[in-house]
Structure 1
Amino acid sequence: MILIAKGAEAEIYLVDWFGIKAVLKWRKPKAYRDHTLDYLIRRRRTINEVRNMYIAHVIGVRVPAVYFFDPEKTTILMEYVEGESLRDLLSRGEHKYLKDVGIYIGKMHKAGLIHGDLAPTNIILSKGELYFIDFGLGETRRGWTRKTAILMARDINVLLRTLELYGAKSEEFKSLFWSGYREEMGVRSSVVESEVSRIRASGRYVER
């Protein structure tokens, strides 16, 4: 078992599962929280992440296959998706996938699924196909409300902020993304775009 990532919420290990490369995600206990509350939070988030991945799979968005999960131990054992992250692709000038990224995010949003962390490191190109990983901060919304549109806008803003790091190319990158998103979302994309503009013009959007 090899530790490959350590975040504020979880640790990610590369493991051998019956001869197959797999990923084990463990939501570790937080010593600063009440023990019972901490357990309930970690359990709920584990179940929620698996549910979000299932929804994404059903609507045609590629995600790692879940082999096994244990809500009591707050662990998920899933497929190891080997490939290059969107960040790596953009860094070497491969931006043609951004329209597809927009389409897939549009598919999620049409289904009411908010990813929660659309960083380019959570989008992986594997064998010519895009995969989305790390749905731990995601949620599912029912119905179409302004609150839903705001959550979708916040989702997208995470990605847009990263695309802006690419200087002169950033507008082209964002344009490619929006073309795919609009294609999939249809008329509702304009509502989400308006909320994105509102976020970026307000004090909630801070340059980093």
Structure 2
Amino acid sequence: MRLLAKGAEAEIYVVDWFGLQAVLKWRKPKAYRDPTLDYQIRRRRTINEVRNMHMAHTLGVRVPAVYFFDPERAVILMEYVEGKNLRDLLNAGRYHYLRAVGVLVGRMHKAGLIHGDLAPTNIILAGGELCFIDFGLGEQRKGWGKKVAVLYARDINVLLRNLDLYGERADFLKSLFWEGYREEMSEKAAVVEREVARIRASGRYAERL
């Protein structure tokens, strides 16, 4: 068992699963929380993550296959996805993948699925197909309206903030994403874009203060 990553919420290990290389995600107990509350939080988040992954899969969005999960121990055992992440692709000038990302994010949003952490490192090109990982902060929403549009906008803004780092190329990269997103979301995309603009404008104002 090899530690792959250690975050605030969980530890990620690479393990052997009957001869297959797999990923083990474990939400460790938090000593600062009440034990009963801690158990409920870790259990609920584990179940929620698996549900989000299942929903994405049913929408035709590739996610790691789940081999096993145990809500009581807050553990998920899943496929190890090997490939280049979106950050690597962009750094190599392979910008066109952003349009495909926009299509897939739009597909999830259209169905009410919010990824929760659309960082480029959570999108991996594997076998010629984009795979989305880490749905731990995701959620599912029904219906449509301003409140839901704001949640979609916050989801997208995580990605856009990363694209800001590309300087003079940033606007072009964002336009590729929006092109794919509009294809899936149709007229609703404009509502989400307006909410993104408001979020980003308020963020810049806060930074100036």
TM-score, reference length from structure 1:
0.97
**For the residues of structure 2 that align with 1:171 and 1:201, how far apart are their CA atoms?**
15
**For the residues of structure 2 that align with 1:18 and 1:145, how far apart are their CA atoms?**
47
Q: Displacement, 1:93?
A: 1.2
**For the residues of structure 2 that align with 1:156 and 1:50, how far apart are their CA atoms?**
21
Contact 1:199 1:205 in 2 (8 A): no
Matched positions, count: 207
Matched, 1:175 2:178: no
- Structure 2 matches for 1:1-208, cutoff 5 A? 1-203=1-203
Superposed CA deviations along residues 56-111 of structure 1, whole A, max 9, x for unmatched, are: 00011000000000000000000000001101111121111000000000000001
SS in 2 for 1:117: coil
- Segments of 5+ residues of structure 1 without an aligned counterpart are none
**For the residues of structure 2 that align with 1:206 and 1:154, how far apart are their CA atoms?**
16
**For the residues of structure 1 that align with 2:112 and 2:35, how far apart are their CA atoms?**
32
- Indicate how the Cα distance of structure 1 residues 204 and 36 shifts in structure 2: closer, same or farther if over 3 A, else same: farther
Which residue identity does 2:56 align to in structure 1? Answer: A
Contact 1:16 1:22 in 2 (8 A): yes
SS in 2 for 1:144: coil
- Indicate how the Cα distance of structure 1 residues 205 and 8 shifts in structure 2: closer, same or farther if over 3 A, else same: farther
Q: Displacement, 1:206?
A: 5.7
SS in 1 for 2:95: coil
CA RMSD of aligned residues (A): 1.1
- Segments of 5+ residues of structure 2 without an aligned counterpart are none
Q: 4+ residue runs of structure 1 moved beyond 6 angstroms?
A: none
Which residue identity does 1:27 align to in structure 2? Answer: R
Percent identity of the aligned residues? 74
Which residue identity does 1:143 align to in structure 2? Answer: G
- Indicate how the Cα distance of structure 1 residues 203 and 84 shifts in structure 2: closer, same or farther if over 3 A, else same: closer
Which residue identity does 2:116 align to in structure 1? Answer: G
TM-score, reference length from structure 2:
0.97
**For the residues of structure 2 that align with 1:76 and 1:158, how far apart are their CA atoms?**
24
